[in-house]
Amino acid sequence: MEEIENTEVEEGLTPPDKEEIARILADESDGALKEYLEPLHPADIAELLMLLPDEDDWPRVIKYLNDEDASLVLEELPEHQRQKMVHFLSTQRLSAIVGEMDTDDAADLLAELPDKQVETILHSMDEEDAEDIQQLMSYPDDSAGGIMQTELASMESTLTVREAIASLREMHQEIEELRHIYVTDKDGKFLGLVPIIRLLYADQDTTLDDLKEPAVITVPPQLDQEDVARLFRKYDLVSMPVVDENEVLLGRILIDDVVDVLDEEASEDMLRFVGTSSEDLVYGNKIFSIIMRRLPWLVSNLLGGLITGYLITKFDNIKLLDAMILISFVPVITAMAGNMGSQSATIVIRGFALGKVQLHNLSRTFIRELLVGLSIGLICGILVGSIGAIHNGAPLVGIIVGTSMMISMTTAALMGVAVPSFFKLIGTDPAIASGPLVTTVLDITGILIYLANTQLLLTLLA
């Protein structure tokens, strides 16, 4: 926890409005600006930067930040805004700022910079830190190794409480969130944890070996960050040791990094569900990149729409009944099937994300959605069928429309389960464009069901 002024909040902090910003910037001696920045938390300074009307005002704010605050502001900015801030910093200043960062955040930042600048910055740093950062940069972004940090209080098990307290004295200024001593053997193999509070009461000559408790769980650096998040959630953890295949301690993951993962994953799932992705591109201002991101799925759905339209004209070939009457029920059948399918797909996708639905217990979800689809399909079928029969004065139309509705809604519920499960089975993210894909497939199958059912019933009943 930083030493920062207490800010009282009633309904969440409100960022400054345009007039306030204009007032602060109007004073060219920067007096108003300095006064405004003084009590601000780095997260609020990041927010202020993004609200500045003119990029050229960024350096005015940045120059009043000390290196530590500047490092925190950089971490708070979204990627494309971070690039902007980096652009206003000399490599020398940037080196100083990176030096203030935790290794995991430093590695994330450096991964975004050009190789040459990275080299200069690493060269200017303490050798050990530079090595740690390079090691962290070698792990994939979305793995346990990619979100862990190497800052932790690691001590050998033979140390006494007295010695441990002495070592901690130096560390605790530098390491945030110091709550446990990570106990290892002389080769760095992880043995367990000692909560700091136990040092207050333990005999000064006890060794850490006697005080250590096993960790609830340790993870390898390759583990996917989604799995890391799931384990944090499942076991209510606040930190997690990362070890290599020989159980040598590599680093720790803290819960605040996991919070970011959870947000990232939830956003990704929602955006992928509608056939787009990558927050930064979506919230950013690069119109061309945004279009290239969103267009492919839309265009592939174009084909689905054209097929649906082509199928509609097939109703013209049906004898005995007015094509226009039959066609007028196409939208309600395809829309309801689409909604039903999206509901089922969302439930399954979210269930996978939270670990509540798993491939091995999928049959339960499948049966439940079948029953739900059948029941809701029956209700909607009767409703629309009645409208069809009464409005057109033709019971036959009602029967055809009602049964088609029921069949296509039930099919929709099942396909809503099947499509994301299929993606999960082949190892792809189940959220990938399940929305548009499911809707398009259901549009086509909905009409095919309607067409086939109409032909069938006309043969049987007419």
Q: Which of 90, 116, 201, 427 binds a copy of itself (CB under 8 A)?
A: 201
**CB within 8 Å of 89: residues ≥ 6 apart:** 62, 70, 97
Q: Which of 86, 282, 396, 399 binds a copy of itself (CB under 8 A)?
A: 282
Which secondary-structure segment (H or E) carries 265? Answer: helix 255-273
> Coil, strand, or helix at residue 190?
strand
Structure tokens at 51: 């609200």
> Coil, strand, or helix at residue 142?
coil
Q: Which of 237, 394, 414, 458 binds a copy of itself (CB under 8 A)?
A: 237
Q: Indicate whether 403 belongs to the interface with a copy of itself (CB under 8 A).
A: no
CA atoms within 13 A on the CB side of 293: 19
> Which residues are registered as beta bridge partners of 224?
143
Q: Indicate whether 259 belongs to the interface with a copy of itself (CB under 8 A).
A: yes
Sign (positive/negative) of CA torsion 293, 296, 299, 304?
Answer: negative
Q: Indicate whether 271 belongs to the interface with a copy of itself (CB under 8 A).
A: yes
Number of Cβ within 10 Å of residue 103's Cβ equals: 21
Residues in 336-365 at the binding interface with a copy of itself, rule: CB under 8 A:
336, 338-340, 342-343, 346-347, 349-351, 354, 356-358, 360-361, 364
Residues in 302-331 at the binding interface with a copy of itself, rule: CB under 8 A:
302, 304-306, 308-310, 312-313, 316, 323-324, 327-331
Q: Indicate whether 381 belongs to the interface with a copy of itself (CB under 8 A).
A: no
Q: Indicate whether 389 belongs to the interface with a copy of itself (CB under 8 A).
A: no
Q: Which of 36, 82, 436, 449 binds a copy of itself (CB under 8 A)?
A: 436
**Are 162 and 235 contacting, i.e. CB atoms less than 8 angstroms apart?**
no
Q: Which is nearer to a copy of itself, 248 or 354 (CB)?
A: 354
Residues in contact with a copy of itself, counted by CB under 8 A, come to a total of 138
Q: Indicate whether 53 belongs to the interface with a copy of itself (CB under 8 A).
A: no
Q: Which residue has the tokens 């190892």?
A: 427
> Coil, strand, or helix at residue 224?
strand
Sign (positive/negative) of CA torsion 436, 440, 445, 447?
Answer: positive
Shortest spacing between CB 198 and a copy of itself, in angstroms: 8
Q: Indicate whether 440 belongs to the interface with a copy of itself (CB under 8 A).
A: yes
Q: Which of 35, 112, 210, 260 binds a copy of itself (CB under 8 A)?
A: 260
Q: Which is nearer to a copy of itself, 118 or 437 (CB)?
A: 437
